[in-house]
Amino acid sequence: MNTITHPSKETKIALITGGSRGLGRNTALHLARKAVDSIVTYRGGRAEAEAVVAEIIQAGGKAVALHLEVGDSKSFCAFAEQLRNTLHRHWQRDTFDYLVNNAGIGIHASFSETSEAQFDELVKVHLKGTFFLTQALLPLLADGGRIVNLSSGLTRFALPGNAAYAAMKGGIEVLSRYLAKELGGRRITVNTVAPGAIETDFGGGLVRDNAQVNAFIGGQTALGRAGVPDDIGGAIASLLSEDNRWINGQRIEASGGMFL
């Protein structure tokens, strides 16, 4: 009787910014179920990040938590060196495979009331941070690797109070296409995942905790409810799988069909 054998494959490693909670945490846990190890970064939630690591290890995977201030681009060279040492120490590797640029902040203010300080903070975290962190980590990203940048459904539909935030995410979508083009020679795919309204603590937990807002979103969504982290973590993990290796330079909205 003939049998089919598969060569052993090196464990894949993902770096997920903002991986201590919300969508980043959920993505790391979904990847762990697919035997992908994770390095999760955190800004202030060290205990939460270590809890994610413990959960992955308990499930049989490997994970590490590293501190990262995505809004401080001057720290990226030192972070890249720390990442290099972490890869050597824990995986005996020089590279990692997947970069998920997830970390972010939410500032809700009307266009007329958005301050320059708020705008600059959004630029530093969402646009400048993603741009220059990705640039700093490129030497450590394996050829044939993947990048997923997080955007928002707010780049397609407009809800008052989100002009500055949505503008940053629009920039991320353009940046993703340019990265896909420029990194194609290294066989690195770059895509954008754009979540709709999700029940997390993002933006003060408005979608999760405000019943009126939650009901409004459910009424405007084809599937009849607001999203939950599991809806997004699973989508990102699926996009990183080998089955989706030919998807490149795309904006993929995961919103359950909001405002169709």
Considering 42, 98, 165, 178, which one is annotated as catalytic? Answer: 165
Catalytic annotation on 98? no
DSSP 8-state code for residue 135: H
What 3-state class would DSSP assign to 139? Answer: helix
Residues carrying an active site annotation = 165
